[in-house]
């Protein structure tokens, strides 16, 4: 049964200080993490509270209750559930979830001739979703727009398809789907469903490469492979952590990311954030994939 | 700091060899650090149990080709850096 949020309620001041915060590069608080006698409370300011109750004796099972604020719609709460809460709990339970988008790309030279996945990591608003949409528009179906869910199988990392939606700002949506694309509000991201113009992948694909989008929005197009140590250091901040004080969990998480950094090539990808540049970026990534 | 000083790795640090170098993550601060192959070997020895710096010098001298006085100077410098970052503790 699909998870649903509870009735809206205002966010009252909590009696204790958060033990962790997510802070955006611009300095505003995106999420606060509190301890609760039942488990954890994760607050997304002005958006929603999520209570994570840890079921005793069930080996890492959780009961999740989410309350949107009165000014937050159900769709936003669901996005927080899928794009933050689920990956946070997935990593806490021994999974491997990263913040990023991913697309399918056929790799002709691989002996199995199988389509592979290419993942794009980066800070919020760094262009991950638009880049994934650009690949989809060019015939490379997207697998996910915000959460990279990896499962190890036979020495590979299978990247699971997530929701068949891209969350886009109006200008990106109009670039990808046409200038007459209708949007309710041009100032916030909205869900755009997959379709003929933006195909969605139909199954898990083996991860071939990871690209980390640079922060210089006016940089020239370049791709540089990270050393294995650099790769580990750039993967760490792109993973979701529930409890920064749970050292046993962090040890396991560090080990899984260290394995990933050694098994999958990881690259720095810089490019000018200009829609006209996207075809060149796609060509460069696909060329690098073919040569990899 | 002296060669007779004894140290152990901090319980708040996890380490993994990645591409021939040791990468350390301080779980308390979230900071990570890299050690070259010699530093990584020293970390491995410390991770086995508390050691005097002089013992570590003996091991390095036996495994790597370098003059003793240089090994001692480099090890003292490394130990100071690791201790300043709370990656190792007196034992």
pLDDT digits (tens, 9 = 90+) for A110-139: 555 678 999 999 988 889 999 999 999 999
Burial status of residue A101 (CB atoms within 10 A of its CB: 0-12, 13-18, 19 or more): buried
- The pLDDT value recorded for residue A110 is 56
**CB neighbourhood size of A199 (10 A):** 19
Mean pLDDT on A9-33: 91
Helix (H/G/I), strand (E/B), else coil: A75: helix
B32/A258 Cβ within 8 A = no
A258/B19 Cβ within 8 A = no
Query: Is B25 part of the contact surface with chain A (CB cutoff 8 Å)?
Result: yes
- The pLDDT value recorded for residue B51 is 95
Low-confidence ranges of chain B (pLDDT < 50): none
Which chain A residues contact residue B43 at CB under 8 A? none
Instruction: Name the CA radius of gyration of chain B, rounded.
Output: 12
A254/B25 Cβ within 8 A = yes
Mean pLDDT on A221-225: 97
Structural element, H or E, at residue B71:
helix B68-84
- The pLDDT value recorded for residue A111 is 56
E-strand ranges in B1-91 read 6-9, 13-18, 21-26, 32-35, 51-52, 88-90
Q: How confident is the model at residue A72 (pLDDT cuts 50, 70, 90)?
A: very high
Whether pLDDT at A273 is above 60? yes
- The pLDDT value recorded for residue A179 is 73
Alpha helices in A112-265 (DSSP H): 128-137, 170-177, 228-235, 247-263
- The pLDDT value recorded for residue A112 is 56
Give the CATH fold of the B6-90 domain: Arc Repressor Mutant, subunit A (1.10.10)
Whether pLDDT at A74 is above 90? no
CA dist B52 → B72, B76, B77, B79 (Å): 12, 11, 14, 11
B34/A229 Cβ within 8 A = yes
- Interface confidence (ipTM) of the complex: 0.76
Query: Is B14 part of the contact surface with chain A (CB cutoff 8 Å)?
Result: yes
Nearest to A229 among B12, B18, B27 (CB): B18
In the A/B pair of chains, how many CB contacts fall below 8 A? Answer: 38
B16/A255 Cβ within 8 A = yes
Query: Tens of pLDDT along A49-66?
Result: 999 998 765 556 899 999
Whether pLDDT at A106 is above 80? no
B21/A254 Cβ within 8 A = no
Query: Is B27 part of the contact surface with chain A (CB cutoff 8 Å)?
Result: yes
Let me know the angle formed at the C-alpha of A245 by A241 and A247, rounded to the nearest 5 degrees.
90
Query: Tens of pLDDT along A160-183?
Result: 999 898 988 888 888 888 877 777
In whole angstroms, give the CA distance from residue B30 to residue A28: 20
- The pLDDT value recorded for residue A107 is 64
Which chain A residues contact residue B21 at CB under 8 A? 228-229
B19/A262 Cβ within 8 A = yes
- Residues 33-52, chain B, touching A (beta carbon < 8 A): 34
B12/A247 Cβ within 8 A = yes
- Contact (Cβ atoms closer than 8 angstroms) between residue B35 and residue B24: yes
Q: Hey, of A33, A232, A240, which one would you mutate to test binding to chain B, going by the most B CBs within 10 A of its CB?
A: A232
- The pLDDT value recorded for residue A188 is 80
Query: Biggest alpha carbon distance in chain A?
Result: 59
Chain-wide mean pLDDT for chain A?
A: 90
CA distance B66 to chain A (A): 26
Helix (H/G/I), strand (E/B), else coil: B32: strand
Question: Where exactly are the structural domains of chain B?
Answer: 6-90
- The pLDDT value recorded for residue A113 is 62
């Amino acid at each position: 049964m699909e998870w649903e949020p509870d009735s809206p309620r205002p966010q009252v001041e909590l009696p204790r200080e958060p033990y962790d915060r997510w802070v955006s590069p611009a300095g505003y608080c995106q999420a606060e993490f509190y301890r609760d006698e039942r488990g954890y409370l994760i607050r997304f300011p002005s958006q929603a509270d999520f209570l994570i109750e840890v079921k005793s004796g069930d080996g890492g099972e959780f009961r999740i209750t989410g309350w949107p604020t009165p000014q937050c719609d159900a769709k936003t709460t669901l996005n927080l559930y899928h794009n933050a809460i689920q990956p946070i709990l997935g990593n806490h339970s021994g999974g491997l979830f990263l913040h990023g988008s991913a697309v399918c790309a056929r790799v002709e030279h691989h002996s199995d001739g199988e389509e592979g996945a290419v993942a794009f990591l980066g800070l919020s608003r760094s262009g991950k979703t638009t880049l994934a949409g650009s690949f989809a528009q060019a015939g490379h179906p997207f697998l996910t727009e915000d959460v990279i869910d990896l499962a190890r199988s036979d020495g590979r990392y299978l990247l699971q398809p997530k929701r068949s939606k891209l969350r886009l700002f109006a200008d990106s949506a109009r670039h990808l789907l046409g200038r007459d694309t209708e949007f309710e509000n041009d100032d916030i991201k909205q869900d755009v469903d997959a379709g003929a113009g933006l195909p969605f992948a139909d199954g898990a694909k083996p991860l071939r490469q990871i690209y980390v989008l640079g922060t210089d929005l006016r940089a020239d197009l370049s791709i540089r492979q990270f050393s294995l140590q650099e790769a580990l250091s750039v993967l760490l901040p792109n993973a979701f952590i529930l409890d920064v004080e749970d050292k046993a969990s962090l040890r396991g998480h560090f080990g899984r990311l260290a394995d990933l950094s050694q098994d999958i090539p990881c690259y720095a990808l810089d490019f000018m954030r200009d829609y006209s540049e996207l075809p060149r970026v796609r060509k460069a990534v696909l060329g690098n994939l073919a040569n990899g | 700091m002296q060669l007779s000083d004894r140290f152990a790795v901090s319980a708040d640090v996890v380490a993994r060899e990645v591409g021939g170098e040791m990468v350390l993550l301080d779980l308390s601060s979230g900071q990570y650090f890299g050690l070259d192959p010699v530093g990584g070997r020293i970390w491995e020895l410390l991770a086995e149990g508390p050691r005097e710096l002089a013992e570590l010098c003996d091991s390095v001298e036996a495994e790597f080709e370098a003059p003793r006085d240089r090994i001692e100077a480099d090890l003292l410098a490394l130990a100071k850096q690791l201790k300043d970052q709370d990656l190792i503790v007196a034992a």
